[in-house]
Structures are given as C-alpha cells and as structure tokens.
Amino acid sequence: MAEINHDPGRGQDYWRSLQQLADTDEFRQQLDNEFPGGIDAPGGLSRRRFLQIMSASIAMTSLAGCRWPVERIVPFAKRPEGYQPGTPMQFATTFELGPVAHPVLATSYDGRPIKIDGNPGHALSGGATSAFAQASVLDLYDPDRSRRVLSRRGRSTTETDWATFTAWAGPHFAGLRGGGRGVAILTGATSSPSARGLLEAAARAFPGGKVYLWEPVCRQNEILGVKEAFGTPGLPQLDVERAAVIVDFDANLMLDHATALRNSRQFAKGRKPEHGAMNRLYCWENGFSITGGMADHRFPVAARDVGAAVWALAAELVLGEGLPLPVGAGVSRGELSAWRGHAAGGAHIAAVARDLMANRGKSLLVAGLRQPAGVHALVHTLNTALGNVGQTITFLPFAAPAFGTVEELAADLDAGRIDTVVVLDGNPVVTAPADLDLGAKLAKAPNRIHLGDKDDATARLCTWHLPKAHYLESWGDAMAWDGAYLAVQPLIAPLYDGHTATELLSVMVDAEPRSAWQIARDTFAVLGGGSAPAPAEGADRAFEKRWNAFIHDGVLAGSAQERGQALALAGAAIKAPAPGKPLGADNLEICFAHDPSVWDGRFADNAWLQEMPDFMSKLTWDNAALVSPATAAALGVRHGDVVTLSLGGRTVDAPVYVQPGQARWSVTVNLGYGRTDCGRVGLGAGFDAYRLRTFAARDFADGLTIARTGRTYQLATTQDHHAIDTRGAAEIQDRAPRLVREGTLADYEADGHFVDHLGIHHPPLVSLWKEKEYDGYKWGMSVDLNACNGCNACLIGCQSENNIPVVGKDEVSRGREMAWIRLDRYFLGDPEEPTVTPQPVGCVHCELAPCEQVCPVAATMHTDEGLNAMVYNRCVGTRYCSNNCPYKVRRFNWFNNFEDLTATQRLVLNPDVTVRARGVMEKCTYCVQRIEKARVAARVKGRKIMDGDITPACAQTCPTDAIVFGDLNDPGSRVSKLREDSRAYDLLGFLNIKPRTFYMARLRNPNPEIAPARMNDGGHGGGHGGGHEGGHEAPAAGGHEEAAGHGQAAH
Amino acid sequence: MTPDRNDLEQGPGRGATETDKFVFPKWTNGLREASAVMAIGGLLYAVVLVTGVFSPKNSAVGYAPEQPVPYSHAMHAGKMAIDCRYCHTTVETTAKANIPPTATCMNCHATVRTESPKLELVRKSAESGEAVKWVRIHDLPDFVYFNHAGHIQSGVGCISCHGRVDRMEVVEQVAPLNMGWCLECHRDPAPNIRPVEFVTDMEWKPEGDPRELGARLMAERGIAPSTDCATCHR
C-alpha cells in the first residue's frame, strides 16, 4: 500500500478507504472510470460476433413477435375463503437463527412467499427485521436444496422417500428403546418448545445415549454468565432506552445481541436531541462492529483484553470512585486492586468510571457472546453495584436444557457407545471444532441420520439424508428472547419432500408418528393449560378460536414479558482472566467471528447475503483476515496478500484485509466461508476459518502466526465504487464534511443551525430551468444519520422488494453491483482508531434531475409528484444519466441477470415490479409500486393518501426508524416536520438540483473529559481544516444553503 | 486515372501517390442506379411496416377465441341481467377482476340445467377440483400494471373498455388496449366518468352531456388521472 497521507494535525479528514486516503492509482482509476472494464459479452464472445448474433436474433424475434401467444387463465375450482387472486397476503410466522426467534410477517403472492417483514405485533421486532430474516426467503427457492431422501450404503447412494425411511426407522428405534448402545441426537440451539419437549422425550426413551448441543455461534456464555453471577440461568433483558450511559464490551448490541433490533430502536430513540438529553455509548471491542461505529468513544483492544478492560473498569469504579461492592459480589477489593490502571482499560478508564458514577441506575453494561461467562458475571456485578439491575437490565428465568456438548459426543462415539447418530440440521462435520475430528468419529456409529437442507459434508458421511423443510414450509413454534410464545406456520407445501426436526423426532419417539402440525397443536394445548393430544380439528370451538388467533397473530397474546425480574447476586467467586503472553508479531490473537453475511455458513448459498457488502470492510463474496494498518505494516503484509495463518499446528491460507479500527495484534476471521460442500452460490467464496477453531479456543485465542505466501488474491470490495467525488483526494477531503455532516451535542446546543454552516455559503441559487410546481402530493424522504447504524437490513429489504439482481464476485469487482442503496461509511481521523459515520444513499429524486436532462430517449422522466421515474421499456442504455448523476446511484444491467434463473428461482420475484433486462438502467423508485397501491387503496376508501399509508421497503424494515417517507406538501406529515428540523440538510444541495431525500446530521455525544465537546466550534465554516473560510466572504443570501466553489476560490 | 490494381494491393507507402487517396472499387459504380430502387424499396417497407403495426386488423381488437366452455355473457349478463360483480367479485377492491371459480357456476348449475352437455367441463371441474382453463382475451404486456379497483372506484364503467359484454355470445376484445388508447382517456377522462353506482350498468346513459357530468364528478371526487409513466410502468 502506498504511504497514507494522514496528517494528524489536520482535524477532520474523512475517507472511505485506505486506498482513498493514500490516493493510490487503483482509487484514481475507480474515480476516473465509472464503468470500468468496458463491455464484454458473456462466454467470451468478441464484440463483433456478439453484434452479429444480436442482429440476427432481433430479426428473428421481430418475425416471431407477430404471433401473440395464447394465455390461459386458470381460476380455482373452489376459491379459498377470503382469498383474492393477484393480491398479496401476509401471514405471521417465525424465523429462527440459532436460539433466537424473530417474529416475522411473510408475504404470499398467489401462494408463493416473496417477502419477509418484521411482525409489528411483537416488541422485539416492532415491524423491523434483520437482513438474515429478509434474505431467508431466497433460501426457500435455492435450486441446490436437497430434494430426495437419500440412503447411503457403502459407496452407493439410492434416492428414496420419507415413507421408506419411516418404514426402516420405526422398528429400528423401537429396538433401541430402553438401553444398550445408545442413540445420540446432535441438535443445534432451538427455542421451540415442541422440539425441546421431543428432545427431552427422546433422551428419556433412549437412555444409552444423550442429546448433544452444537451451535457454532453459541449464546451459552450469556446464559451461563447470569448463572455465575446470580446462581440461576436467565436471559438478560435490556432496556437501552432507559440508559443514559451504555458500555458495550464486544457485545455488538445492534447486530449480534439477541434483542439487537429492539436495542437499535431504543438506542436511536435515546439519541434524539430534540427530545432532550442524548445517551452516550462506550465500546471496547477488537473488530470494528456497527455498534462500534455508533459509539461516542470506541477503544479497540484485543478480544482477550476486553475481559481485562471490564476488570480495569471495575477496579476504577470500586477503588477510584468508591463504588461500594454489592452484597454477594464475586470479587473483592483486594482482587480488583491488581487490575487498576490495566493497559486494556486505556487512558480514559477513569473518565468512563466517573460518567458511570454520575449515571447510577441509568447506565448499562453489556458483554458479548464471545466473552467468557466470567466476564459476563463481572459485568452483572457492576450493573448491580451501579443500581442498573431492575432498571436498565432485568432477567427472565430460563431452564437451560441438560444437553451434552459436542466434545462429549466425540468421546462417546470414540468409546463405541453410540449405535445411531441423528444430526438435526446443521453441518457439524464442517462447523464442529477442528480438534474433535467429528467426521472421522461419526463413522464409528453404524447408523447415521442427517436432516438438513443440503447434501453437505455431514450428509455425505451419513447413512440417511433427509431433506429438511424450510421454515416457510413448516409448522412449529418458538420462544422469543422475551419469553413470547411464537407460531411457525407454512406458507407453501414443502417443495421437496421436506420434513421438520419435530417430525423426525416424532418418528423416533412416538408410537404413532405425528405431523408437524399435530405436534405444534399438542404443544399449544399443553402450554395453554390443557393436555396433549390437542382436540381434533373443529371438535372444540373454543380451542380452535384460540389456536386461530395464535396462528393469525404469530404471537400468543400476553405471553411476551415486557420486563424480566431483578436478580440478586449469589456470591460465587469470579475468576479473573489469566494473563497471557504479550501479543506481538510472533504472538497474534485470532478472533473467530460469525459473519454478517453468511452467519455460521448456513447462508453460504444465499446470493443476496453473499453480495451484501459487509458494513465496515465492504467485502462481498469473501472473508479475509482483518488486521489493523499498523499490524499490517509491522508484519510486512499488504491488502490482498495471501498469508498462511497458523494456530496450534493448524494452518489455513487467507487473504489479508487491512481494516482501519481493528485492534492491534488481533486478527479477526469470519466463519462460514470456504465451503466445498455447498451449492453453486457459496462454492469458492472465501476460506474456511473453522479449520483453525478448536473446542478450547472457540471464540478467540492467541498464539497465531502469519507467514506470507507471496501470492495475492483479489478481494471484491465495494468501498471505492460509486464515489461521489470526481476531483481527486484533496477535493474529497474538502467535500466530505459536507456530504456527511456531523457535530456534537454541544455544537447542536450552542447553535441549532450548525449543520447549515458546515457547507459553504453561496449567492442565491438561480435555476436555468423552468421549475415545476408541485401542488398535489410531493414525496420526500428523510434519513437520520443519528439513527442509522449501517445494519444493512434496508439493503436486503430493497433487494427483495424490487427484484434487484445479484451479479457475482467478478462483476462486483468491476463496480457493477446492482444494489439500489449504497451504504456509504466515512471514516474520520487516525486509521488505527477512526470513527465512522454510515450514510445510506439511494436515488434522492432531484426536482431538477441532471439525469433527466441528458437522456436522449426520455427514459427517465419526472412525475407530477416529483418522482424521478425510470421507464425501462424506453431505456436504450446510453448510461449518460449515470455519468451525469452527482450521487452515483444509478445501476446498469450489463447482462440479462435473470436469464439463468430456474422456474423455481423465479418464484421469489415480486410480480409488482418489472424484471429489468440487459442494457437497461435502474435505480431507487421510492417503491413506486407501493405508492400506486396506496393510491388505489385510498381511492377505494374514498379518501386521500394519508401520512403513513406508504412505507417504502427500506423504511419498513429499518430497526432504528432512520428512514421516513411521506408527503412534503402535507405540513402535518412526519417527513415535513423533519424537513423543518435544524439538523436537516441536503446532500450536494449547492448544485441546486433540489433532492427530495434529505439527511439529518449525525450528532456525537463525547465525554468532555476524553474528547473536545465541540467538533464545529469555529462558527461558520471554520475549524474543519479543509478550509473553506472563504465562504464567509460570499453573500449568504441563500439562507443557510451551501455553495460550490467559493471555499475553493479562497485557497 | 484508374490506379493499377497492383498499386492498391501493395498498400500505402509502397506505391505511387495515387494510392494515398481511397478510390471506390469498380463494382460500386452500379450502386448509383441501384440506390433509386433501394429508396423505393425502403419506402415501401416502411409503409408496409407502419400500416401493419397500426392497422386495427393487427391489434387485438376483435380477438374472440373459443373458450373451453361456451359461456354466454349475452345470456347471463344480458338476458338474465346478472350483475358483473356476481362473478367478478374482486373488481371493486383489487387490481384484478378475476375469473370466477367453478364453485360460482355451480351455485346455480347444481340445480339448473344439470344435464346440459355444454356444462360437462364445469361439472367435471367441480367434481375433480381441476380448474377450467379459460383463454385470456384482454392481455396487457407484463410491464403494464393495470388496476381494476382504481378505475371502478373512479367511476369508469365496464363498458368503456370491455364494450357491450351483455350482448356478446362469445366475448371479444373491443378496444385496442394500446398505450395511445389508454392515454386518450387519461388525458381527457370526463366522457367516461359516471357515478360509481352505475359502473356495471350497460344501459346507463347520462342525462345531458356526459362530458359535463364527468367533469362535475371528477371535481367532486378529486379524480385527476396521471399521465406519468410511473402510473402504469414500474
């Protein structure tokens, strides 16, 4: 990498990547050429040959076009009650990610699920949902899902069916009941009461074996931490909204935490300066998480030092600030004294402690799932000492099931105690700790049954493989983190002979196997105070009514706990983290992180998620070894170098990604890539970090060494794509503070209009064009940068709603990704410890749109309501519009991206949105299909469209409510009120193109003891180093608008 | 002077100065004569193409395919005066009017004309649950999003687009359903707007000037159809 031109004295320097900061040739190429790589036809055809084929096919299709195909209308023989063909319907169901259940509403269009949204009827969702839940609908139509029951004997594989399996399994399991060689059931974490009940029944029925639990991304530490502190296992319930000071210890509250959606929403609510005081967030973590991006103060430390930081904070609070240790605390003052001033806490630990002391009962400390139970216990002790328990944190009692570990399973297999292994979902052969060598040990059980959605590495080692039903094909139930009892109902019959885990367990345990529907109903009857079996359908009207209400709402009314209980400390001694060998170039730390795209690998075949850029690294289709710039320099490795990671004798080759803000000497690797046993999508993406992960070092370990291989690897990152700037790095430095405007709470309080002064002043803007009057609806959108944390949910929501294609790694590396929302993130400051500000940018629907002025065929037109509409059937693909777009939000279809989809894959497409063909430009439409739908709905009701009738897909899914859409002509609409807010500003407003999307400035709330309270205290335009003091001289007649050029002229 | 053939083949730099200029080969001399023929041919081609494309003969107007069941709208909607919405139940509330399920037919035909051979397929469908596969007549391109409810609720009568269905033994398309035709009405809807309660009434005639009534209803109900592309294309 070229030398980084970072001048620490310069103050506000924004950058999107280290390449940009260093102004490398690579970055300049990206800027100079918006459409890099030229056109090349698929399959290596030459351009000339391609044109020949094209002209021939045009001639042929124009002849064929004379015949209008005969279409059939196929109505029902008997239409189901309440069903209107061609009208989407929503059904409540539940998406489970490990033990965390997400209540969702799934949209069905004529019987096929096409979209997932959050269930607004449940507090943990509030209508929002994660990128994973949204993308899960794509997995349903994955062409590489396994389709048949497979029976493997020796080397031969026979395709068979469920009936054949049950005919074998019934007598087989009957013979194993009551002892002898046992049945081992390996399950992933599940919250389903039905599955729990059946697992426990199976454990009783087959005493020779056990139920073992393996979840690659495990939440045991959280639950065990509660047990260690309070003597009873529990699920921590956070109330972030009540917290004035929040300390996040590697917890990634807004993405990884079990209640991440609610945390994000509550955190954003606590950061509205208009509503009074703002909360403050401190964050200790090794990798740069989105929560770290939202933090007012982030301290990058190695993962193993996060625990030390908690101890250092505890020592500072107790010994420095005199916080009394509560009764039952598992630590003593003496034990703490050794930790006072520990390096992991950093120089500002005392300031943090003072801040916490000043906010007792209104603060919140949280540790992450990677941190050992002891760290959680100490955090709970501190929460108790600070009086937060019962206020900002409570606990729900949780009966932890007595399941064995995967290590015990390996031992039992080794000892030959197991006759039959049943793997319920998951791919443990790949994901289980590498030192257990589970693949080899599985063979010691003569009968091996695998239930899963793919014929994967585990399935290939089993004697039976059973296709698993997708959750949108299944009946079931789940428990949410707040104790709510949730329903899982199918929207479609299983596409491929799929069955649920409960059905498989029922075959093993029940004398008469039950259907998943019957199992869920039986559990419902029991939990409702009755007994199993549930009454036959229609036999008991009161029961049916309750059951139907449960299925309709997706949540059992009254089952969610708004708050848990306050627990009292139990007094068990908390073990301090053992001091390790100091970290350095020859002793690096490795930290295993689940991936924000593929989680633990289960979404490896999900193309939407694979192509979704990671928020911080902007990596697509790959994982990498993330190292900090200083660590990279010390190790002599550069971005894209392939290195060999060695840990305890295990090695794996991985490309290096230099990640600003990564903790020094700590290497983060994301799990779930490098799959060789998955479908077409995930094949060849990334490297397999599981190969380094052992049972003892599941979360992080030191002792890692890195050796260069001399090879390089192309990583497809989108970070320099579609850069808004065209005049080089100096200009970027000058302009970025105007693109992403931020200040501090003190700035805001001193001058509510500080945001306007961040731009340069300009003479009144005069339009060259005759401006249109908008007297009807005037659609506009607001994006609150103070709320947006960059979770990517809007990206996938948009992709799902608007049929946005996936283009693959090669095309992404050419800058041809299609996502309509580009989630920019601007780093600020020192590359080792930068701060970051996310900024989602889609088409801003300029009133005087530059794209429209250059389209030769009027394919992009303005509507009477101010939408910048894209008319696909007019577009001839000149791409002039994109060249002329100052925001770089237009995306071009280089290929027929939907051409190769199978009929099944096409089922996921939203029929309300045109599927774009090759050679057509596209971009955000403000979800015009939803606007038109709302218009008709309002017409049917005989009224006007009201505020809230229209919610674009991005706004609908946003957990922080950062995106608000509405009518700017309606003074009562939310968006109009936000437009009037002093934090509102236009992106590139000085171009006088009048964007309809506007942004609300980001505010930070730094602790004045740690950082200056003011970022923008130089008054108008001053204090940002980038220097546009010249703006003062310009007449500011345009009010607080900004101007182009004047700041430049002054230099 | 005609350059020597050898000079041409030798290429630039080798031959005399003449080769620096490009000279058309001999066979091109005939093109001047041919150009007249080509112009006439091109013109003819254009005329045929344009008349072909715009001829009503080649639009779908008059398309009246044979249906699997010889259902007569003239009989049901005309003679027996069954309201359109008895079968097309969703037309007022959703985008699609929807073809009725077989069960709707059987509401009457379970007791009426139970032996009719014309109804053989309907009875079979009701029994087996297999749908009757009707032939679509009014077919818009896939990139056009038309919404029945929006039009019905604005007071556009069925007759405006579908014609006198109550007189059709076999339903046929009466309007071209092309974009120009849609826009005609979107630009000037007044003549086609009627009180919502009369939308399905095939015999309804306004008292006085339909344009005047339409204009009044539009003002009253805030009907202002858009001609923006995004109204139908998205």
SS3 assignment, position A503: helix
- Percent of chain B whose pLDDT exceeds 70: 89
Would residue A12 count as lying in a domain? no
* Chain B closest-CA separation from residue A778 CA (Å): 14
Shortest Cα distance, chain A CAs vs residue B125, angstroms: 6
Pairwise CA distance, residues A311 & A334, whole Å: 12
Q: What gap in Å lies between CA A49 and CA A876, rounded to an integer?
A: 20
Give the distance, in angstroms, between the CA of residue A489 and the centroid of all CA atoms in the same chain: 24
CATH classification of the domain holding A814: 3.30.70.20
Residue pLDDT, tens place only, A332-358: 899 999 999 888 888 999 999 999 999
A762 and A648 housed in the same domain: no
How many beta carbons lie within 10 A of that of residue B115, not counting itself?
7
Structural domain contains residue A58: no
Could you tell me the CATH number of the domain that includes residue A610?
2.40.40.20
For residues A861 and A992, membership in a common domain is answered with yes
Nearest beta carbon to residue A864 from set B93, B126, B226: B226
Shared domain check, A606 and A746: no
Residue A10 lies in a domain: no
Give me the CATH number covering residue A512. Answer: 3.30.200.210
The minimum CA-CA distance between A1001 and chain B, rounded to whole Å, is: 32
Residue A411: the pLDDT is: 92
| Of the residues A678, A698, A717, the one at which a domain ends | A717
Residues of chain A with confidence (pLDDT) below 70: 1-13, 15, 18-68, 179-180, 720-736, 760, 1017-1051
Number of domains in chain A: 4
Provide the mean pLDDT of chain B. Answer: 86
Chain mean position to CA A676: 24
Amino acid type, B179: M
Residue A221 has φ and ψ, to the nearest 5°, of -55, -40
Say how many residues make up chain B.
234
Q: Do A872 and B103 touch (CB under 8 A)?
A: no
Nearest to B147 among A71, A72, A936 (CB): A936
The answer to whether the CB of A392 falls within 8 A of the CB of A328 is no
Q: Evaluate the omega torsion of the peptide bond into residue A655 and state whether it is cis, within 30 degrees of 0.
A: no
Query: Is A1016 inside any structural domain?
Result: yes
Beta carbons within 10 angstroms of residue A434's beta carbon: 21
Same domain, A232 and A146: no
Indicate if A525 and A622 belong to the same structural domain.
Answer: no
CATH number for the domain spanning A227: value is 3.40.228.10
Q: Are the Cβ atoms of B102 and A71 closer than 8 angstroms?
A: no
What is the span of the domain harbouring residue A315? Answer: 220-397
Model pLDDT, residue A330 = 87
Q: Which residues of A touch B233 (CB under 8 A)?
A: 869, 871-873, 914
Per-residue model confidence (pLDDT) at position B11: 45
**Closest Cα of chain A to B2: distance in Å?**
34
Residues A615 and A751 in one domain: no
Does A671 fall in a domain? yes
Percent of chain B at pLDDT above 90?
A: 60
* Residues A632 and A490 occupy one common structural domain: no
- Do A644 and A693 sit in the same domain of this protein? yes
Q: Tens digits of per-residue pLDDT, B171-185?
A: 999 998 888 899 999
Is a pLDDT exceeding 50 seen at residue B9?
no
Are A226 and A374 in the same domain?
A: yes
- Mean pLDDT computed over B133-139: 92
Cβ–Cβ gap A76/B101 under 8 Å: yes
Q: Are residues A357 and A241 in the same domain?
A: yes
State how far the alpha carbon of A822 is from the alpha carbons of A350, A614, A891, in Å: 39, 12, 11
Q: Select the residue of A874, A913, A940 nearest B93 (Cβ to Cβ).
A: A940
Whether A701 is in a domain gets the answer yes
**Burial category of A622 from C-beta neighbours within 10 Å (exposed 0-12, middle 13-18, buried 19 and up):** buried
> Looking at the domain assignment, is residue A578 inside a domain?
no
Q: What is the C-alpha to C-alpha distance for residues A372 and A971, in angstroms, rounded to an integer?
A: 52
A668 and A692 Cβ atoms separated by less than 8 Å: no
**Same domain for A689 and A769?**
no
Task: Render pLDDT for B185-229 as a digit per residue (tens, 0 to 9).
Answer: 999 999 999 999 999 999 998 888 889 999 999 999 889 899 999
pTM: 0.88
pLDDT at A728: 52
ipTM of the assembly?
Answer: 0.81
Q: Residue A407: CA atoms inside 13 Å, Cβ hemisphere, count?
A: 7
At B71 the pLDDT is 93
Does the pLDDT of residue B10 top 90, yes or no? no
A625 and A527 within one domain: no
* Domain annotation covers residue A792: yes
Residue ending a domain, among A696, A717, A738, is A717
Last residue of a domain, one of A515, A541, A560: A560
